[in-house]
């Protein structure tokens, strides 16, 4: 039976970056996150799709040791590959859909 998710905007866990596991597909998780706090700098150990659903997120990333930043708005995506170093800083509160290998940082 299909699942309809129509309460994304109402999702608010008890802590920043809390998540609702939506589904797993062949070892890949689809998770809904809410946050109003920055994450931590990390380097991907697998590919990641980061989709802003509501709010805005400043995504900082490093290329060849140089730091860059892009502001993501609803429907914008940040696609990271293995080894990509980045950190998300929401501008206020944001809902984010993250698709990545199960157990990835």
pLDDT digits (tens, 9 = 90+) for 18-39: 999 999 999 999 999 999 999 9
Three-state SS for 10? helix
> Which DSSP state fits 9?
G
If you search the block for the tokens 């993250």, which residue do you land on? 98
Which tokens hold the place of 102?
């199960």
Domain span holding position 51: 28-101
Q: What percent of the chain has pLDDT over 90?
A: 92
Residue 51 tokens read as: 């989709």
pLDDT digits (tens, 9 = 90+) for 38-62: 999 999 889 999 999 999 999 999 9
Q: How many domains does the chain have?
A: 1
Q: Is residue 7, in this structure, part of any structural domain at all?
A: no
> How high is the pLDDT of residue 103?
84
Backbone Cα Rg of the chain? 14
Give a yes or no: residue 9 inside a domain.
no
Predicted pLDDT of residue 8? 94
Within a domain: 10: no
- Residue 1 lies inside a defined structural domain of this protein: no
Query: Looking at residue 54, which CATH number applies to its domain?
Result: 2.60.120.10
Question: Is pTM beyond 0.75 here?
Answer: yes
Domain assignment present for residue 78? The answer is: yes
Asked whether the beta carbons of 23 and 30 are under 8 A apart, the reply is yes
**33 belongs to a structural domain:** yes
For the chain, give the mean pLDDT. Answer: 96
Query: What number is the average pLDDT over the span 98-103?
Result: 93
20 DSSP β-pair partners: 32
Identify whether 96 is part of a domain. yes
Instruction: With respect to residue 19, please indicate whether it lies within any of the assigned structural domains.
Output: no
Instruction: Render the burial of 34-72: b for 16+ CB within 10 Å, e for the rest.
Output: bbeeebeeeebeeebebbbbebbbebbbeeeeeeeeeeb
């Amino acid at each position: 039976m299909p699942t309809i998710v129509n309460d994304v905007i109402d999702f608010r866990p008890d802590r920043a970056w809390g998540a609702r596991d939506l589904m797993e597909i062949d070892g890949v998780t689809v998770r809904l996150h809410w946050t109003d706090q920055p994450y931590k700098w990390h380097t991907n150990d697998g590919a990641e799709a980061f989709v802003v659903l509501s709010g805005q997120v400043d995504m900082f990333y490093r290329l060849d040791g140089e730091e860059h930043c892009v502001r993501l708005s609803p429907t914008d995506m940040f696609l990271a590959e293995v080894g990509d170093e980045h950190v998300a800083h929401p501008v206020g509160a944001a809902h984010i859909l993250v698709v990545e290998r199960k157990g990835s940082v």
